[in-house]
């Protein structure tokens, strides 16, 4: 775990009303649980999936965009370091991330993982799964994925296209149910076999062209019904769920996508359930970003979840 990132940024003062993230973030303190950022520097899964590499550079660039954002309430925020995928060992990186996430959960923290390709999802899910199996056996886990892709590919090796099939297989191996809701699925970006696999696994989804403000009530009803089935939520956002003009810096830009305002509304609603245990953002690729637009979007989503979780957590 690399912990050498140096947080820096604008300083308007040192009193409470002037503080920004870079002024309050610190190394993890297990005696005072808070929100803990974990980087996942990998695009090995993207390479294995024949995508455009570059996402391994994302975590620190997202940190840089977070650094100057203001603090409006008492906040315990930690940087737990970055897991790096080295020598193409994605499986080892998955285990490291799983251990980091489960360890943070065991100490009462709320992990937010900064990807990295969407292969990050299996590491994040594994961490939640291990924690629940060890500390809260019998509780049901649900995955909510904002994504243009199902990521249910069946490959010989793990990739950015396989994490939720891996999650299904892990659940099945432990005789646990698999609950998966994918929001923003693009028909043009998923083959018929992926829709068939989603149906066979009992996955739920909403297509990208149905993800509109006009359909908000129906989408919220679907989300609420899904949340009611589970006890613990893992929420993940693949930035390619947004239209290309909102998120140009991704491996697979979306021609249609789902508007940020709708995702923001839905994300707030999901976090308000108080069931979310882990959140991550994936697929930021700085090689294709424009004026840091996508990095700022990733930071905004993380900031929204961080501030909402902090407000909902008793002090």
Q: Look at the chain and count its residues.
A: 315
SS (H, E, C) 135-189: HCCCCCEEEEEECCCCCCCCCCCCCCCCHHHHHHHHHHHCCCCCEEEEEEECHHH
- Which helix H or strand E contains 80, and what residues bound it? strand 77-84
CA-nearest of 124, 192, 185, 178 to 150 is 185
Element (H, E) at 40: strand 35-41
**Among the listed residues 67, 72, 122, the one whose alpha carbon sits nearest the alpha carbon of residue 97:** 122
Q: How do the domains of the chain map onto residue ranges?
A: 16-312
pLDDT by 10s per residue, the chain, length 315:
888 899 999 999 999 999 999 999 999 999 999 999 999 999 998 999 999 999 999 999 999 999 999 999 999 999 999 999 999 999 999 999 999 999 999 999 999 999 999 999 999 999 999 999 999 999 999 999 999 999 999 988 999 999 999 999 999 999 999 999 999 999 999 999 999 999 999 999 999 999 999 999 999 999 999 999 999 999 999 999 999 999 999 999 999 999 999 999 999 999 999 999 999 999 999 999 999 999 999 999 999 999 999 999 876
pTM higher than 0.85, yes or no? yes
Q: Which CATH superfamily is domain 16-312 in?
A: Ureohydrolase domain (3.40.800.10)
Nearest 10 degrees: Cα torsion 201, 273, 214, 296 = -90
Paired sense of beta strands 110-115 and 35-41, if any:
parallel
Distance, first Cα to last Cα, the chain: 29
């Amino acid at each position: 775990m690399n912990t050498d990132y140096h947080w820096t940024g604008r300083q308007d003062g040192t009193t409470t009303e002037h503080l920004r993230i870079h002024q309050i973030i610190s190394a993890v303190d297990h005696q005072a649980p808070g929100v803990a950022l974990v980087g996942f520097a990998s695009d090995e899964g993207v390479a294995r999936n024949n995508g455009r590499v570059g996402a391994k550079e994302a975590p620190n660039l997202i940190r840089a965009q977070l650094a100057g954002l203001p603090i409006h309430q008492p906040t315990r925020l930690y940087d737990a370091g970055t897991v790096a995928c080295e020598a193409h060992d994605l499986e080892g990186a998955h285990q490291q991330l799983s251990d980091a996430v489960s360890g943070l959960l065991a100490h009462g923290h709320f992990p937010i993982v900064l990807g990295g390709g969407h292969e990050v999802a299996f590491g994040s899910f594994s961490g939640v799964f291990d924690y629940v199996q060890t500390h809260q056996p019998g509780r049901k886990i649900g995955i909510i994925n904002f994504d243009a892709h199902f990521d249910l590919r069946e490959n010989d090796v793990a990739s950015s296209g396989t994490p939720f099939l891996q999650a299904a297989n892990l659940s099945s191996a432990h005789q646990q149910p698999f609950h998966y809701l994918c929001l923003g699925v693009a028909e043009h970006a998923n083959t018929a076999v992926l829709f068939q696999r989603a149906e066979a696994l009992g996955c739920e989804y909403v297509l990208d062209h149905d993800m509109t403000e006009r359909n908000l009530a129906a989408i919220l009803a679907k989300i609420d019904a899904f949340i009611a089935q589970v006890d613990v939520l893992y929420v993940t956002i693949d930035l390619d769920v947004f239209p290309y003009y909102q998120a140009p810096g991704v491996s697979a830009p979306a021609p249609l996508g789902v508007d940020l305002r709708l995702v923001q509304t839905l994300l707030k609603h999901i976090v308000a359930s108080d069931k979310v245990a882990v959140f991550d953002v994936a697929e930021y690729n700085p090689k294709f970003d424009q004026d840091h637009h996508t990095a700022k979007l990733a930071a905004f989503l993380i900031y929204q979840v961080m501030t909402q979780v902090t407000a909902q957590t008793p002090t």
